[in-house]
């Protein structure tokens, strides 16, 4: 493609994620300008055809779209701070892990310098960048998301949650929370099985199979919580209370920590004591959701579920 018509993109930060992202843009035919605090990390990309900027400001000035897969909020502030004067008319896509508050703060800061801002969360590993396995979440400028949708999809399938710049970080943390609960449950199980001679490696395939089945249960759980309708479930609070109680008893008898499941038992006990023992397990949601606001209305996720890889992943219509 002639250089004049070649689409341009800038990547600030060439760590494990940034390096893959810049490489994906080069492969997709973009005129890719790169900058990294430690300049040598750009060498391989320059050999691949990237243009090296010697400062972040030079990199920002090189094109309309600035992608920043930096370490964290501080790194983004430190990299973009000296480039502030070059930001006017640019669109910044901040992909560093952060908090909703930090994302909103940066959006305000970018707006103050005349830049459009999109905050992203990368649900991917370095090796799944630019593959169907990874996916990125976005919140912030609708105009930026629409204008640069094609570029965003070079990195990963893109999901947009709305104009709140903090919304991608909230969804990122929600997904992390879901994963942490499952992985901590697995580690507890591995501790439990040690004394009976089942190694974690031997148990892992079984656990993975079980989790895949559990994932298929999510749409039902979501419907019940979304509609606050807990009466037609087959798996009741009391049934699961007994199950968790058995797990706790076994853990104690085996000298295994009960810290992972005590909080769940406490929630189930409260539901039962409140007269909801025959409600569906999902009714625990009533104890978790924000009190007095956020009545579960229509789910914000307007999509559905589709099988991708080994499990189910949410997909969203219209974006």
Binding site for ligand FVH (CB under 6 A): 13-18, 36-38, 41, 69-72, 74-75, 78-79, 96-97, 122, 124-126
Distances (CA, A) of 135 to 63, 79, 196, 300, 304: 24, 25, 39, 18, 15
56 vs 189 by CB, closer to ligand FVH: 56
Q: Taking the complex as a whole, how short is the minimal distance between the CB of residue 117 and ligand FVH, in angstroms?
A: 16
Taking CB atoms, the residue at the shortest distance from ligand FVH is 15
SS3 assignment, position 165: coil
| Strand ordering across the sheet containing 91-94 | 51-52, 31-35, 8-12, 65-68, 91-94, 116-123, 135-140, 158-160
99 vs 258 by CB, closer to ligand FVH: 99
Q: Taking the complex as a whole, how short is the minimal distance between the CB of residue 189 and ligand FVH, in angstroms?
A: 24
Q: Taking the complex as a whole, how short is the minimal distance between the CB of residue 33 and ligand FVH, in angstroms?
A: 15
140 vs 233 by CB, closer to ligand FVH: 140
172 vs 279 by CB, closer to ligand FVH: 172
How far does CA 125 lie from the centroid of its chain? Answer: 11
> What letters, b where the CB count within 10 A reaches 16 and e where it falls short, cover 210-247?
ebeeebeeeeebbebbbeeebeebeebbebbbeebeeb
282 phi/psi in degrees, rounded to 5: -60, -15
Q: Taking the complex as a whole, how short is the minimal distance between the CB of residue 69 and ligand FVH, in angstroms?
A: 5
Q: Taking the complex as a whole, how short is the minimal distance between the CB of residue 155 and ligand FVH, in angstroms?
A: 12
15 vs 226 by CB, closer to ligand FVH: 15
């Amino acid at each position: 493609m002639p250089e004049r018509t070649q689409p341009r993109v800038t990547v600030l930060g060439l760590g494990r994620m940034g390096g893959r992202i810049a490489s994906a843009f080069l492969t997709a035919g973009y005129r890719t300008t790169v900058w990294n605090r430690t300049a040598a990390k750009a060498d391989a990309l320059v050999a691949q055809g990237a243009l090296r900027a010697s400062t972040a400001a030079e990199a920002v000035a090189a094109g309309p779209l600035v992608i920043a897969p930096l370490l964290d909020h501080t790194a983004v502030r430190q990299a973009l701070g000296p480039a502030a004067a070059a930001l006017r008319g640019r669109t910044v896509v901040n992909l560093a892990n952060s908090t909703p508050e930090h994302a909103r703060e940066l959006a305000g800061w970018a707006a103050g310098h005349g830049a459009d801002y999109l905050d992203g969360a990368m649900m991917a590993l370095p090796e799944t960048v630019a593959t169907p396995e990874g996916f990125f979440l976005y919140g912030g400028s609708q105009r930026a998301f629409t204008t640069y949708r094609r570029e965003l999809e070079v990195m990963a399938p893109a999901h947009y949650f709305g104009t709140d710049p903090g919304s991608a970080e909230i969804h990122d943390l929600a997904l992390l929370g879901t994963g942490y609960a499952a992985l901590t449950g697995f580690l507890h199980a591995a501790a439990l099985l040690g004394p009976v001679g089942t190694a974690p490696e031997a148990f892992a395939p079984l656990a993975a199979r079980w989790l895949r089945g559990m994932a298929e249960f999510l749409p039902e759980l979501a419907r019940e919580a979304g509609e606050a309708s807990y009466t037609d479930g087959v798996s009741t609070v009391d049934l699961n209370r007994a199950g968790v109680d058995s797990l706790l008893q076994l853990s104690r008898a085996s000298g295994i920590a009960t810290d992972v499941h005590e909080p769940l038992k406490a929630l189930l006990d409260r539901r039962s004591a409140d007269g909801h023992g025959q409600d569906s397990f999902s009714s625990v949601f009533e104890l978790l959701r924000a009190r007095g606001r956020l009545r579960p209305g229509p789910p914000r996720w307007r999509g559905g579920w589709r099988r991708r890889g080994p499990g189910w992943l949410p997909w969203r219509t219209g974006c």
